[in-house]
Amino acid sequence: MASLPSSSAAPAVARLAAAAAADRDAEAEAEAYERAHVHGVYQAIAPHFSATRHKPWPAVASFLHAQPPRSIGLDVGCGNGKYLGVNPAVVMLGSDRSAALVALARSRLGRPGDAGVQDATKTQGEVMTADATSGGAAISDVLVADGLSLPFRDGAVDFAICVAVIHHMSTRARRQDAIRQLLRCVKTREVASGHVLVYVWALEQGASRRGWDEGGEQDLLVPWVLKSQTPRAQKKGTRGQKTNNDDVSVATTGGESSASTAPMVLAGEAAGTTTGGAVSDPVFQRYYHLYRKGELEEDVLAAGGVVITSGYERDNWWVVAANPS
Amino acid sequence: MKVLTLNFLSCAVKTCKSSSDSFPLHPKEAELAKDDVEINPQLLVNVLPRIDWAALRTTSTELGFPTLPDQPPTAEELEADEKMLQELHTLLMEMQIVEGKLVCGHCGHEYAIREGIANFLLPSHLV
Ligand SMILES: [Zn+2]
């Protein structure tokens, strides 16, 4: 796991100097890059990240509620499991690259035998316990897996969601392959293929304060600041590894314009280096590919899928895709 | 990880997907625990068509459970057969592998299960 230097004086957004290399030779580099700028980061910020992730996106919630009771679905990149119980009538199989987040997700499922493990991040009004009449949530499950090497068998499930995941993949080929993997899991023998919902950050964020919009740089490093307020937490926070900081941390992500950025190379250990500060909160640089309008639909087609419907919701693009019939 | 979940999993290695030996994965040194889940016949009946029955038979035997019939019960048969309902409910929905390994019959790779969570991340030479 990468351990990025801590600093409070990190550039708000660091631009990547070169366009992301999409060729196969770059695959290993892309992997190493994502290990440093996605996987390592989430592993380190898991509890903090989890504490800031409560509300399901409306488009995702309505997709889940539209699924028939007792159908079975995947949540690839389930994070802390906030979508696993949104529709307690369906069975969800969640997977995530981060073992730390999967452990949190499992605790939210409230498995007997995990007594005492309580997650403070449970959202109000969220139904996690078994619904007596439908009960799909009672048999939901989670595991650790990479979105590009999913362990699910072909056509295993009725539907899949993949929320805020593929924008962390650093080449277009990998993002398309991730969609291909999702489509593979809903490829059924029946006439109609299951639906896949993919949700990504948009380049067009004119209404937000982040300052990103049409025509801007699409490949970015976005800082996550583990803001601690107790001396103890600060000392322990030098490597960014925290155990329980729900009560002492405040998230600050993104937030400023890309004007103050330093050029960065795509691969390499130094990519996330920040200037040193005296007493500082750990800063983690997460890689994002911001999707421009229409790009997500293009990726679905390139992955061999068809677009059922698509839309924009508060700084995000989403698409519902399926296998061609 | 529930036995039900195991029925949806094959080896994560791409080149194994086309081999019938990569499914189901074989439990090894499995330590089981039983959840208390309220029996829900409707849920079982609905999940049944999604189950690969032959794979479930293999898993059931490998975990030391009674041998399942050759063919899956129809929805009507299942609803009428309380013993079968209870057995399938326990096997699929209550039994969990909490520690152990899952082994691919094609490439031999072993996936660890710890504290009820299976880990399918691959070493770089298998990606
Ligand atoms: Zn294999």
Report helix angle A99-109 to A40-51, nearest 10.
30
pLDDT at B111 > cutoff 90:
yes
pLDDT of residue B91: 96
Residue B23 Cα to ligand 1 middle (Å): 9
Domain that holds residue B71: 3-126
Distance CA A292, CA A212 (A): 11
Report helix angle A172-185 to A295-302, nearest 10.
60
Contact A138, A130 (CB under 8 A): yes
Runs of H (alpha helix) within chain A: 27-34, 40-51, 58-65, 99-109, 172-185, 231-236, 295-302
Residue A142 β-bridge partners: A94
A93/B52 CB distance under 8 A:
no
Contact B115, B100 (CB under 8 A): no
A112–chain B nearest CA distance, Å: 6
Distance CA B109, CA B127 (A): 12
A145/B120 CB distance under 8 A:
yes
pLDDT of residue B118: 98
Distance CA A198, CA A46 (A): 22
Contact residues, chain B to chain A, C-beta under 8 Å? 1-2, 4-5, 8-14, 17, 23, 33, 35-38, 40, 42-43, 46-47, 50, 52, 92-93, 96, 98, 111, 115-122, 124, 127
Domain that holds residue A164: 58-203+293-322
Backbone angles phi, psi at A197, to 5 degrees: -100, 125
Residue A321 β-bridge partners: A196, A307
A19 falls within a domain: no
Return the higher-pLDDT residue of B46 and B59.
Answer: B59
pLDDT of residue A12: 37
Which residues lie closer than 8 Å to A129 by C-beta, 6 or more apart? A88, A110, A137, A138
Return the higher-pLDDT residue of A48 and A232.
Answer: A48
B51–chain A nearest CA distance, Å: 9
pLDDT band at A189 (very low <50, low <70, confident <90, very high): low
Instruction: Give the nearest chain B residue to A145 (CA atoms).
Output: B120
A144/B36 CB distance under 8 A:
no
Q: A133-137, B77-81, B98-102 — which is least confidently predicted?
A: A133-137
Read off the pTM: 0.79
A93 falls within a domain: yes
In CATH, what number is assigned to the domain containing residue B44? 2.20.25.10
Contact A129, A161 (CB under 8 A): no
State the total domains in chain B: 1
A284 falls within a domain: no
Going by C-alpha positions, the residue among A29, A6, A31, A2 that lies closest to residue A18 is A29
Kindly state the tokens that stand for B104.
């691919």
Distance CA A232, CA A245 (A): 11
ipTM for the whole complex? 0.97
In CATH, what number is assigned to the domain containing residue A81? 3.40.50.150
A156/B8 CB distance under 8 A:
yes
State the total domains in chain A: 1
pLDDT of residue A91: 94
pLDDT of residue A259: 30
A40 falls within a domain: no
In this predicted model, what pLDDT tens digit does every residue of A204-223 receive, in sequence order?
998 887 889 998 899 989 88
Going by C-alpha positions, the residue among A99, A124, A94 that lies closest to residue A109 is A94
DSSP letter assigned to residue B95: E
Contact A274, A283 (CB under 8 A): yes
pLDDT of residue A25: 66
Instruction: Return the H-helix or E-strand segment holding A195.
Output: strand A195-201
pLDDT of residue A229: 47
